[in-house]
Structure 1
Amino acid sequence: MFDLIDARIADSAFGRWFRLEGSGHPKERLDSRFTTEIRAGLTTWAVMAYIISVNASIISDTGGTCVCPTPDFCPTGTNPAYDTCVNEVRNDLITSTAAVSALASFLMGALANLPVGMAPGLGLNAYFAYSIVGFHGSGIISYREALSAVFLEGWVFFILSIFGLRQWLVRVMPHSLVLAVGAGIGLFIAFIGLASSGLGVIGGNTTNLVGLGGCTAQDMLPTLPGYCATGVLRNPTMWLGIFLGGFLTILLMLYRVRGAILIGIFLTSIVSWPRLTSVTYFPPTPTGDAMFEYFKQVVQFHRLERVGNVLDFDFSNGKVWYALVTFLYVDILDTTGTLYSMAKFAGLRNPVTLDFENSTIAYCVDAVSISMGALMGTSPVTAFIESATGISEGGKTGITAMVTGLCFLVSVFFAPVFASIPPWATGGALVIVGSLMIRNIRDINWDYIGDSVPAFLTLIIIPLSYNIAYGVIAGVLSYIILRALPWAIARLSKGHIVPPNIDAAEEWSVPPGGIMPFWMRMLVRRANRGGDLEMNASDSGSSQHERGRVQDVDEKSEKSSVSSYSLRSS
Structure 2
Amino acid sequence: MGYFDALLAKVNRGFAQSSVGRLFRLEGSGHENALPGSRFSTEIRAGLTTFFTMAYIISVNAVIMKDSGGTCVCTDETDPTCLKDPAYNECLLEIQRELITGTAAIAGFATCLFGLFTNMPVALGPGMGLNAYFAYQVVGFHGTGNVPYRLALTAVFAEGWIFVALSLLGMRQWLVRLLPTSLKIASACGIGLFLAVIGLSYPAGIGAVTGSFPAPLDLGGCPPEFLDEFGHCTGEKMRNPQLWIGLVFGGLLTVLLMAYRVKSAMIIGILVTSIISWPRATSFTYFPYDEQGHSRFEFFKKVVGFHPIDKLLRANDWNVGANPGQFVLALFTFLYVDILDCTATLYSMARFAGVADAAKGDFPRSTIAYCTDALSISIGSLLGLSPVTAFIESGSGIAEGGRTGLTAVTTGLCFIVSIFFAPIFASIPPWATGCTLILIGCMMMRQVIAINWTYIGDAVPAFVTLMFIPFSYSIAYGLIAGLFTHVVINGTIYIIEKASRGRLLPEDFDKREQWHGHVSESDFFRPLRSFAGFFKVEKQNSVSTSRGASTDQFQKVDEEMVTRPEHVYREK
TM-score by length of 1: 0.74
1-side partners of 2:46 and 2:306: how far apart? 31
Question: Do the aligned partners of 1:130 and 1:139 also contact (CA within 8 Å) in 2?
Answer: yes
1:180 aligns with 2:186: yes
Q: Which residue of 1 aligns with 2:447?
A: 440
CA contact (8 A) 1:167 1:359 kept: no
Whole-Å separation in 2 of the counterparts to 1:26 and 1:171: 33
Q: 1:256 to 1:456 in 2, by over 3 A?
A: same
Counterpart position of 2:514: 507
The residue type paired with residue 339 of structure 1 is C
Deviation at 1:506, TM superposition (A): 1.9
- Give, in angstroms, the shift of residue 483 of structure 1: 2.2
Residue in 2 that maps onto 1:211:
218
Q: Does 2:436 match 1:429?
A: yes
CA displacement 1:94-131 (0-9 Å, x = unmatched)? 54454334333433444343634322723214455459
Q: In the alignment, is the contact (CA less than 8 A) between 1:155 and 1:368 conserved in 2?
A: yes
Counterpart check, 1:260 vs 2:265: yes
Aligned to 1:45: 55
Number of the residue aligned with 2:341: 338
What code does the residue aligned with 1:223 have? Answer: E
Counterpart residue identity of residue 193, structure 1: G
The one-letter code matched in structure 2 to 1:465 is: S
After superposition, the Cα gap between the structure-2 partners of 1:43 and 1:80, relative to the gap in structure 1 and judged at 3 Å, is closer
Structure 2 counterpart of 1:55, from 62, 65, 70: 65
How many residue pairs were aligned? 511
Secondary structure of the corresponding residue to residue 49 of structure 1: helix
Return the match for 1:391 from 372, 389, 395. 395
AA aligned to 1:342 is T
Per the alignment, residue 557 of structure 1 pairs with none
2:552 equivalent in structure 1: none
Distance of aligned partners of 1:259 and 1:411 in 2 relative to their CA distance in 1, 3 Å threshold = closer
Deviations for 1:382-403, whole angstroms, at most 9, x for unmatched residues? 327xx44553574776566545
Any idea what the Cα deviations from partners look like across 1:247-305, whole Å, max 9, x if unmatched? 22222233333333332222222222221123322122211111111111223334444
Q: Report whether the alignment pairs 1:415 with 2:422.
A: yes
Q: Flag the 1:332–1:8 CA change in 2: closer, same or farther, 3 A.
A: farther
Trace 1:37-436 onto structure 2 (pairs within 5 A): 37-56=47-66, 58-63=68-73, 95-112=101-118, 113=120, 115-119=122-126, 121-127=131-137, 129-130=139-140, 147-148=153-154, 150-196=156-202, 197-203=204-210, 205-218=212-225, 220-225=226-231, 227-309=232-314, 313-314=318-319, 318-319=321-322, 321-322=324-325, 324-343=327-346, 346=349, 347-348=351-352, 350-355=357-362, 358-376=365-383, 378-383=384-389, 387-389=391-393, 391=395, 394=399, 402-436=409-443
Q: What residue ranges of structure 2 are gaps of 5+ in the alignment? A: 535-572
Alpha-carbon distance in 2 for matches of 1:62, 1:474? 33
Per the alignment, residue 36 of structure 1 pairs with: 46
Residue identity opposite 2:197 in structure 1? F
User: Helix, strand or coil for the counterpart of 2:126?
Assistant: strand
In the alignment, structure 1 residue 459 sits paired with structure 2 residue 469: no
1:497 aligns with 2:519: no
Per the TM alignment, residue 381 of structure 1 is displaced from its structure 2 partner at its CA by: 2.2
How far apart in 2 are the matches of 1:16 and 1:364? 24
Shift of 1:448: 0.7
AA matched with 2:509: I
Per-residue CA deviation, residues 399-428 of structure 1 (Å, 9 max, x unaligned), is 665455434433433211111122222233
Name the structure 1 match of 2:537.
Answer: none
Q: Alpha carbons of 1:167 and 1:296: their partners in 2 closer, same or farther (altered >3 Å)?
A: farther
Contact 2:53-2:396 within 8 A present in 1 as well: no
Structure 2 counterpart of 1:471: 478
Contact 2:69–2:92, Cα closer than 8 Å, also in 1? no
Query: What amino acid maps onto 1:284 in structure 2?
Result: Y
- SS of aligned partner of 1:118: strand
Distance 1:195 1:236 in 2: 15
Counterpart secondary structure, 2:388: strand
- Structure 2: which amino acid aligns with 1:51? N
CA–CA separation in structure 1 for the residues paired with 2:305 and 2:188: 38
Shift of 1:458: 2.0
Whether contact under 8 Å (1:150, 1:324) holds in the other structure is no
1:331 Cα deviation after fit: 0.4
Q: Percent identity?
A: 37
Over 3 Å counting, the alpha-carbon distance change for 1:182 and 1:323 in structure 2 is closer
The residue identity in structure 2 corresponding to 1:391 is G
**Cα separation, partners in 2 of 1:248 and 1:34, compared to 1, 3 Å:** same
Work out the CA distance in 1 between the residues paired with 2:291 and 2:498.
71
Q: How many Å separate the matches in 1 of 2:37 and 2:220?
A: 43
The residue type paired with residue 198 of structure 2 is I
Give me the CA root mean square deviation.
Answer: 4.4
Which runs of 5 or more structure 1 residues have no equivalent in the other structure?
527-570
Q: Amino acid of the residue matched to residue 293 of structure 1?
A: E
Q: Distance in 2 between matches of 1:144 and 1:413?
A: 26
For 1:147 and 1:90, how far apart are their aligned partners in 2?
16
- Classify the secondary structure of the residue corresponding to 1:353: coil
Q: Does 1:516 align with 2:524?
A: yes
Q: Please, what TM-score do these two structures have when normalized by structure 2?
A: 0.74
